């Protein structure tokens, strides 16, 4: 729940956990207007090369099956401002990775390889630069990254 704007986000992810504690987890972030499913074929190819690797592919807020709703029972007009700022998407990705760690019962995060397409490339680059996931980030790859300041559409 985000108390600054009274919203609740329900994150949706696609997860194949790493087969063991020494295998990496690829964290995938899609581009604007897409979903975590855009990495399905890529995930299959990664697992052909590294069969024990895990894949965590997220649906970003207001994409795929991830939902942003009003946190309270207030009726209002039901409209919620779309926030696809780099700061917000960064916070969401770190939250999803940490929440996955908690729900999977991992004492430590597996080694991470961040992969992002377009808008997702900007997000994973920012997450890697901020260092919130620590030394567990082994590498990151960007595919057709969007440069410059990210703004939400009008």
Residue 18 predicted with pLDDT over 70: yes
When pLDDT is averaged across residues 134-142 and rounded to a whole number, the result is 95
Q: What is the chain's mean pLDDT, rounded?
A: 89
pTM of the predicted protein model? 0.87
Token pair belonging to 11? 């994150």
pLDDT at 154: 42
When pLDDT is averaged across residues 97-125 and rounded to a whole number, the result is 96
When pLDDT is averaged across residues 45-50 and rounded to a whole number, the result is 97
Residue 57 predicted with pLDDT over 70: yes
CA angle 31, 90, 37 (to 5 degrees): 35
When pLDDT is averaged across residues 73-97 and rounded to a whole number, the result is 82
Contacts (Cβ under 8 Å, ≥6 apart) of 88:
61
Residue 126 predicted with pLDDT over 60: yes
When pLDDT is averaged across residues 103-122 and rounded to a whole number, the result is 96
pLDDT digits (tens, 9 = 90+) for 5-14: 678 899 999 9
Contacts (Cβ under 8 Å, ≥6 apart) of 137:
112, 113, 114, 127, 128, 131
pLDDT at 81: 80
């Amino acid at each position: 729940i985000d108390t600054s704007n009274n919203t609740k986000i329900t994150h949706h992810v696609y997860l194949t956990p790493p087969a063991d504690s020494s295998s990496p987890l690829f964290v995938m972030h899609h581009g604007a207007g897409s979903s975590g499913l855009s990495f399905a074929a890529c995930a299959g190819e990664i697992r052909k090369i590294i069969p024990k690797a895990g894949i965590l592919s997220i649906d970003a807020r207001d994409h795929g099956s991830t939902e942003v709703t009003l946190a309270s029972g207030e009726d209002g007009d039901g409209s919620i401002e779309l926030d696809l700022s780099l700061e917000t998407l960064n916070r969401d990705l770190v939250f999803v990775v940490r929440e996955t760690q908690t729900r999977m019962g991992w004492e430590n995060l597996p080694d991470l390889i961040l992969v992002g397409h377009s808008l997702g490339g900007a997000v994973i680059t920012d997450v890697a630069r901020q260092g919130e996931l620590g030394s567990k980030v082994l590498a990151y790859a960007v595919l057709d990254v969007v440069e410059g300041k990210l703004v939400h559409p009008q």
